[in-house]
Chains A and B, each alone.
Chain A
Amino acid sequence: MAKKLIDLVNISKSFDKDLIIDDLTLSIKENSFVTLLGPSGCGKTTILRIIGGFTSPDKGQVFFDGEDITNLSPNKRQLNTVFQKYALFPNMNVADNIAFGLRVKKKSESYIKDKIKYALKLVNLDGYENRQIDALSGGQQQRIAIARAIVNEPKVLLLDEPLGALDLKLRQEMQYELIRLKNELGITFIYVTHDQEEALTMSDTIVVMNQGYIQQMGTPEEIYNEPENAFVATFIGDSNILPGKMIEDYLVEILGSKFKCIDSGFGKNKLVDVVIRPEDVELVEKDSEKAILKGVMTHSIFKGEMYEMECKSNDGFEWLVHSTILKEPGTEVGIYVEPKNIQIMNKPQSEDEKALDVEELDE
């Protein structure tokens, strides 16, 4: 088991009386790729700033390798940051930007020269040494910011939406490059994004946040397949979220019809939220024995690898359905869901869990 490298313990932070981070505790293991994922304004950058030392928490402690670094100044921390808006030095050219950290550490000029070359190659910008910063596009600046951080070979790299300004193809390329880099250099990555696909493909741990709370932490598979609440379910991928009632163990009532499921331990007649992923909704013949609900197709869009369709069941609920088989709008269909594909979640209860409110989600 890898050892813990960074520990955030009971961190709270407010700005102007607004509580931004509320009693957050988080452990990050050595060599892991941890992604903080959440909607804009949920406090992702604030957490990175606390780890980087640019802002201090009102309460709580930050540990690095077992040592309390809560009050250590940023230049003494063994980590580097790729800032959300690049934050390159406009008074220096590309090479001097990349060399900055190495010059501060008094490395030899020949070593620095090699490092610059290596880093520029890595981010696909060979030959850009003498360019001025303001003569670079946003995406190029972003890549220089990555190069500037990695040449220092930090133990931990904090990346705040580092691929946000890149186009799709370059973004995918850089995703692979970053993963390769991480494995090559053995750096721990703490990565911030609000792009759920990026989070799912790159990380080994995802921390889903909303309004300063950790909603769920787990592997990409856990987060996707077993969302703990409605917020996580809606934020990660498309999903159908329905109000339901746990009749008894392994049986849930959704929209007035009974569905078999594989969850237990909720008690009898307990109100719950039910998540069903669109690819798990099976459309069958309307008279089929399998059909649990009946409905009419309303929309369909061809998405390349599948059709994205909507089906209105008789009770009025609009189901989102992904399937490779097209059902034309107007077709009457039956709806069936495999028990293992029905994910039962507790309803938000306490004041604290107001943060789960799905209405707040506007990405």
Chain B
Amino acid sequence: MKNKKIINKILIAPYTIWMIGFIVIPLLFIIYYGFTTKRGDFTFNNVVDFFSLIHLKSFYLAIRLSLLSTIICVVLSYPLALIFREGNFSKKSFIIYVFILPMWMNSLLRIFAWLTLLEKKGVINLILSFFKLPNINIINTDAAIIFGMVYNFLPFMILPIYNSVMKIDENTINAALDLGASKVTTFFKIILPLSVPGMVSGITMVFIPALTTIVISKILGGGQVLLIGNVIEQEFIESSNWHLGSGLSIILILFIFITMALTSKYYDKEGGNFL
């Protein structure tokens, strides 16, 4: 008994050290910086500054873009999940890999790839010009950022939704058809409600990283579109104002905690563990 406890402790030790070193201590630093001035005096100003017009604006923008991307991801994921479910093709796992595969590549690289594709004189426009077609001009706009978010986070939506749609017993769906429901009715009355847990874990896995993204908005927004993540980054790096950066972060972290607490009721633990 005792031995087992000691072994357990030894096994847990690396994680505990990792957690303390990389999560707890940085968090304590953020809290310390967030509530102090440069001179080290206690203050609420950094935290309250989150609610200044300029910061609220970039926070609102971040929420708007990440919500839109999340909705687009949901709308794209369902048809795919249903096709996977219904499909008789034996290469199911292959198709799933097509979606997972890009995740093995550094996301920074992938975003840069889209930059070269979408740029004013980028690959896509070159091809369009070649065929004498009108050029697209979305780089450095909200649209480009939404595009980047959807592209980057879509797999995190597809997998949990696919997972929970796959878990629905075939006969539950057959029963709805049997009782006269059309495929559309069956989707809205049976499949959608039964996959809510997967959808919720997908939403948390897309919405929160999208909300706090720095890279996508920086590269595809060309510095023209400032999201809350970019504002915080600027405070830390360009203005070297760690105190304000930490203050803003505290509110953002609180916001994320509240969001997660609200959705945890529906959170599908199994689906979440899929990755």
Contacts and interface: CB of A to CB of B under 8 A. Distances in A.
Interface of A: 52-54, 73-75, 79-81, 83-85, 87-91, 100-101, 104-105, 148-149, 152
Contacts of A89: 172, 175-176, 189-190
Contact of A75 (B171, B182, B189): B182
Contacts of B193: 91
A2 B225 CA distance: 77
Given A83-B171, A87-B169, A100 B176 contact: yes
Contacts of B175: 81, 83, 87-89, 148
Contacts of A54: 174, 177-178
A104 B169 contact: no
B135 interface: no
Contacts of B176: 89, 100
Given A79-B178, A80-B178, 5 more contacts: A54-B177, A83-B171, A87-B172, A100-B176, A104-B185
Interface string B26-52: 000000000000000000000000000
Contact of B194 (A74, A85, A90): A90
For chain B, the bracket of interface size reads 10 to 19
A83 B172 CA distance: 9
Contact of A100 (B171, B174, B179): B179
B136 interface: no
B169 A101 contact: no
11 contacts: A53-B177, A54-B174, A75-B177, A84-B171, A85-B171, A87-B172, A88-B172, A100-B181, A105-B180, A148-B179, A149-B179
A148 to B, nearest CB: 7
A81 B189 CA distance: 19
B179 A91 contact: no
Contacts of B169: 85, 87
A162 to B, nearest CB: 13
A310 B179 CA distance: 51
B198 to A, nearest CB: 13
A80 B193 CA distance: 23
Contacts of B194: 90-91
B190 A52 contact: no
Nearest to A54: B174
Residue from A73, A74, A105 having most chain B Cβ neighbours under 10 A: A74
B171 A74 contact: no
Contacts of A81: 174-175, 178
A83 B177 contact: no
| Closest 4 pairs (CB-CB, A-B) | A101-B179, A87-B171, A91-B193, A87-B175
B172 A75 contact: no
A148 B179 CA distance: 9
A116 B182 CA distance: 22
A75 B181 contact: yes
B266 to A, nearest CB: 12
Contacts of A149: 178-179
A274 B111 CA distance: 80
B135 to A, nearest CB: 46
B174 A52 contact: yes
A87 B174 contact: yes
Contacts of A74: 174, 177-178
Contacts of A79: 178
Contact of B178 (A52, A84, A105): A52
Given A85-B169, A91-B193, A104-B185, A152 B179 contact: yes
A50 to B, nearest CB: 13
Nearest to A105: B180
Interface in B168-209: 169, 171-172, 174-182, 185, 189-190, 193-194
Contacts of A85: 169, 171
Contacts of B190: 89, 91
A97 B180 CA distance: 13
Contacts of A87: 169, 171-172, 174-175
B177 A152 contact: no
Contacts of B185: 104
Contacts of A75: 177-182
A70 to B, nearest CB: 16
A105 B169 CA distance: 24
A152 B180 contact: yes
A1 B172 CA distance: 38
Contacts of A104: 179-181, 185
B180 to A, nearest CB: 5
Nearest to A98: B179
Contacts of A148: 175, 179
A73 to B, nearest CB: 7
Contacts of A91: 190, 193-194
A148 B172 CA distance: 13
Residue from B175, B178, B185, B193 having most chain A Cβ neighbours under 10 A: B178
Nearest to A74: B177
A245 B193 CA distance: 66
A266 B177 CA distance: 51
A89 B176 CA distance: 8
A89 B178 CA distance: 13
Nearest to B171: A87
Contacts of A84: 171
Contacts of A83: 171, 174-175
